[in-house]
Structure 1
Amino acid sequence: MTTTVERPWVQEMVVVHRIFRRESRNLAESVAACPAGDTARAALLTGLARDYVEGLHHHHTGEDDLLWPKLLARVDLDAETVLRMEQQHHVVAEGLEDVGRCLAAWERGAGEAERAALVEALRRHREQLLVHLDDEERHILPLVAEHITAAEWAELGERGLANTPKNKLLFLLGAMLEDATPEETARFLGLLPLPARILWHTVGKRSYAKRMREVRV
């Protein structure tokens, strides 16, 4: 008797990647448009940028801890591809450290020179990030679909939720659903308990839209 192993829904990763693709672009544009000396707006954008940096950091460390070791143990010819992902994570992490340093300098006085340095760091980070995300979606997700079980894949999502402060969970859901297709939206909402779905529709959706109006150009 053949046992069928449930395979992961890898499109979930594509939806998560959309957040980082979108927000890496929006952050650079919003910072570039911030008037010199506007410390109130700089503080607002800095808070969003730090949420972004923390979210991407946790996303990548989850893969480092839970995904790459499993794939390396199960693939032979594609091991070089997995190792390339690890190296790309190092490059992205260094870029995020640069963004963090520039954020701290810009936040203090919203100076013009500090703004220019931050915009350059954000744009450089985005270039590095897109190389990685494109590579991962093209080469790693097919390996995940073949070699990782649905239960193992779910561990990544559970780790991400555990690393997200409870008061930011609705915001994270809004970020995931912003560019999701109707089918993707239905799948994500279907995973939530009824009280969480009600909270999203009654509070979360409006709260997310309000914050996005505040921070985007």
Structure 2
Amino acid sequence: MKVVSPTTQSRPDVNEMVVIHRAFRREFTALPKLIRAVAGGDAARARLVAEHLTLILDGLHMHHTGEDAVLWPLLQVRAAPSTALVETMQHQHELVDGRTEEVRTQSAVWAQAPTPIYGEQLAQLVEDLANALFEHLDLEEREILPLVSRHITVEEWQSLGDHGRDAMSTRQLPLMFGAILEEADADERGRMLAQLPAPVRLLLRTIGARQYRRYITRVRAA
């Protein structure tokens, strides 16, 4: 593997990661409340909340597999003696993956039989996942992003986004982008959208934005 260090003029925009993490923190904080608010026996509402949970879990899986495939191998080579930190990040991914599978299993049970007991079990599992995830996100922002700025090129950083877009379905893409951009300021939104091909950018700004607003309004309805 060729060792490359980005120049000052070509450092990746690591704040993109902070914007993405913001969406995961918001959604995994809100989801236990949404689950607990579903009345026993309300199968339609349980399916909607479970589908939203699946969307966020799929987005998280896409985000982490991109790091596994692109980021960690490069940092292992270029960021020594910080390789122990990278190994910690990999271990945290494994922990989050394990809790994610528990959530997926219980979500399927609850969606089929939306009882208060199953709902509470699912809400607690989501909270356990969130605790592990938030610890990981905090460490990543504090320790990994500075390494990315020093050791990862703009092209390599952008390949993470390419991985995510390729991994998501045509239905998921505008919804996940909507979730990510929801709390982004104008500058953050502009910089993230600028990386996309013009047709995709137009779609997300128009039809995709309307689709996300309708979707998230239904999800968050009392």
- Match of 2:101, as an amino acid? E
The equivalent residue for 1:125 is 129
Aligned-residue sequence identity (percent) comes to: 40
> Which contiguous aligned blocks of 4+ residues in structure 1 show a shift greater than 4 angstroms?
none
State how 1:80-119 maps to structure 2 within 5 Å: 80-119=84-123
State how 1:43-192 maps to structure 2 within 5 Å: 43-192=47-196
The equivalent residue for 1:41 is 45
Compare 54-63 and 145-154 and name the one that shifted more.
54-63
Q: CA deviation at 1:150?
A: 0.6
> Equivalent residue of 1:34, what SS?
coil
2:12–2:149: 8 Å Cα contact kept in structure 1? yes
Distance (Å, rounded) in 2 between the aligned partners of 1:73 and 1:58:
23
Unaligned runs of 5+ in 1: none
CA deviations 1:102-143 (Å, max 9, x no partner) are: 101111110111001001001111111100000000000000
Per the alignment, do residues 199 and 155 of structure 1 end up closer, same or farther by CA in structure 2, a change over 3 Å counting?
closer
CA deviations 1:34-73 (Å, max 9, x no partner) are: 1111111001111111111111112111111111111011
Per the alignment, do residues 142 and 25 of structure 1 end up closer, same or farther by CA in structure 2, a change over 3 Å counting?
same
RMSD value over aligned CA atoms? 1.5
The equivalent residue for 1:6 is 10
Distance (Å, rounded) in 1 between the aligned partners of 2:13 and 2:189:
14
The equivalent residue for 2:31 is 27
Unaligned runs of 5+ in 2: 1-5
Q: CA deviation at 1:172?
A: 2.1
Distance (Å, rounded) in 2 between the aligned partners of 1:48 and 1:103:
11
Q: CA deviation at 1:196?
A: 3.4
Compare 204-213 and 87-96 and name the one that shifted more.
204-213
TM-score relative to the length of structure 1: 0.94
Distance (Å, rounded) in 2 between the aligned partners of 1:108 and 1:44:
12
> Equivalent residue of 1:166, what SS?
coil
- Match of 1:123, as an amino acid? E
- Match of 2:138, as an amino acid? D
Per the alignment, do residues 197 and 26 of structure 1 end up closer, same or farther by CA in structure 2, a change over 3 Å counting?
same
> Equivalent residue of 1:67, what SS?
helix
TM-score relative to the length of structure 2: 0.92
